[in-house]
């Protein structure tokens, strides 16, 4: 008799459990994929410091347009399920997450490259999502009836550099994270869409801002258009960590009717600025340096500092010269191949 009662009791509990189950939640919106373009980002692999780089940002209105809904529309259909039993969750995907504490108070999603991670935040009206959490876990939203994209908020995707990066490593197209229901119904997929190769900054300079002082230069020293005066020397030092061919490109404001090696003076229309002259840069005292055209050098030895000698001088561009301030600004870029 006791055995019979026990069987009846268990059967009754099973029936009660069955009456409290719900169907898997259906969506009021279409599933979307947020693609992150990496080619436009700027990573300096040589810096040994912690740095966050914003690589993607999507606001609720943008998400709503992609999902073909209003940003105030509930994401889950309450007629098909019990949303209290199936909350929304932000989760990583292929690569594991790890504990950490980024500048935005998150953990880190590994990328397969040492010292380089992803993390994601979402600033909703009531919750600030952080993926992963500082413990390296997924983020589960608190239950709210009729949760909308405004509740999710602006989604921001970051790369996080925690130190120097090895040259040649590649970030491949991959799924980073998903917003889904606890049962696995996916709403938003976040992924990268192109390869990105880490390139080490092979050449650098110890003289990033050389200053040239001409002192006072008298106008009678000029003898006509094309004549020069006031030579002043300066050096640019470069050092390459690999055996490459460095090249330097100068840029600045040109004067339309003058040779392409002449730099226009700053504030040319000011009454205080000299008129009728520009500034010319020479390499090794003899070769005019054309703006926007690179100077190419031979292969540099590894970890050797080279000193490149340049000269700046005033160049007469007009028949008449008027005295005044005669400052100019030029920029140089170091590249290598």
Q: With 50 as the cut, is the pLDDT of residue 18 above it?
A: no
Query: Which residues are bridge partners to 88 per DSSP?
Result: 181
Only one residue has tokens 């119904």, namely 185
**Peptide bond preceding 263 in cis form (omega within 30 of 0):** no
Q: How confident is the model at residue 25 (pLDDT cuts 50, 70, 90)?
A: low
Q: With 90 as the cut, is the pLDDT of residue 110 above it?
A: yes
Per-residue pLDDT, 303: 82
Question: Where is pLDDT greater, at 165 or 34?
Answer: 34
Tens of pLDDT, residue by residue over 251-295, are 999 999 999 999 999 999 999 999 999 999 999 999 999 999 999
pTM, rounded to two decimals: 0.57
Question: Where is pLDDT greater, at 29 or 213?
Answer: 213
Per-residue pLDDT, 276: 96
Q: With 60 as the cut, is the pLDDT of residue 16 above it?
A: no
Min mean pLDDT across 14-23, 39-48, 239-248 is at 14-23
| Among 40-49, 130-139, 295-304, the range of highest mean pLDDT | 130-139
CA 32 to chain centre: 23
Per-residue pLDDT, 104: 95
Only one residue has tokens 């268990």, namely 10
Per-residue pLDDT, 228: 96
| DSSP codes joined into one string, 84-144 | GGS-EEEEE-SSPEE----TTS--EEE-SSTTEEEEEEEE-SS-EEEES-TTS--EEPPP-
Min mean pLDDT across 15-19, 55-59, 157-161 is at 15-19
Q: Which domains are assigned to the chain?
A: 22-197 (2.60.40), 203-336 (2.60.40.1090)
Tell me 209's DSSP state.
S
The stretch 204-214 carries a mean pLDDT of 89
Task: Please name the residues in contact with 4: beta carbons below 8 A apart, sequence gap of 6 or more.
Answer: none
CA-based angle 174:159:46, to the nearest 5? 115
């Amino acid at each position: 008799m006791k055995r019979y009662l026990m069987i009846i009791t268990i059967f009754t509990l099973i029936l009660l459990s069955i009456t409290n189950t719900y169907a898997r939640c259906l969506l009021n919106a279409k599933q979307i994929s947020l693609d992150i373009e990496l080619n436009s980002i700027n990573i300096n692999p040589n810096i040994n410091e912690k740095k966050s780089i914003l690589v993607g940002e999507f606001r609720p209105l943008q998400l709503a347009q992609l999902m073909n809904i209003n940003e105030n529309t509930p994401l889950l259909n309450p007629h098909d399920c019990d949303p209290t039993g199936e909350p929304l969750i932000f989760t990583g995907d292929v690569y594991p997450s790890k504990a950490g504490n980024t500048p935005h108070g998150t953990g880190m999603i590994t990328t397969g490259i040492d010292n380089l991670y992803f993390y994601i935040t979402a600033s909703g009206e009531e919750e600030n999502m952080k993926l992963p959490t500082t413990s390296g876990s997924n983020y589960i939203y608190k239950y709210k009836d009729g949760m909308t994209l405004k509740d999710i908020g602006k989604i921001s995707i970051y790369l996080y550099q925690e130190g120097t990066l090895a040259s040649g490593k590649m970030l491949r197209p991959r799924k980073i994270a998903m917003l889904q229901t606890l049962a696995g119904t996916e709403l938003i997929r976040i992924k990268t869409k192109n390869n990105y190769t880490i390139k080490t900054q092979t050449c650098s300079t110890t003289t990033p801002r050389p200053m040239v002082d001409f002192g006072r230069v008298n106008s009678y020293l000029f003898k006509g258009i094309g004549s020069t005066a006031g030579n002043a020397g300066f050096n640019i030092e470069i050092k390459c960590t690999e055996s490459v061919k460095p090249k330097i490109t100068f840029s600045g404001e040109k004067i339309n009717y003058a040779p392409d090696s002449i730099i226009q003076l700053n504030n040319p229309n000011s009454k205080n600025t000299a008129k009728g002259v520009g500034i010319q840069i020479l390499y090794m005292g003899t070769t005019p340096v054309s703006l926007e055209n690179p100077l190419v050098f031979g292969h540099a030895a590894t970890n050797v500092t080279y000193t490149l000698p340049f000269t700046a001088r005033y160049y007469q561009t007009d028949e008449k010269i008027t005295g005044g301030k005669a400052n100019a600004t030029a920029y140089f870029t170091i590249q290598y191949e």
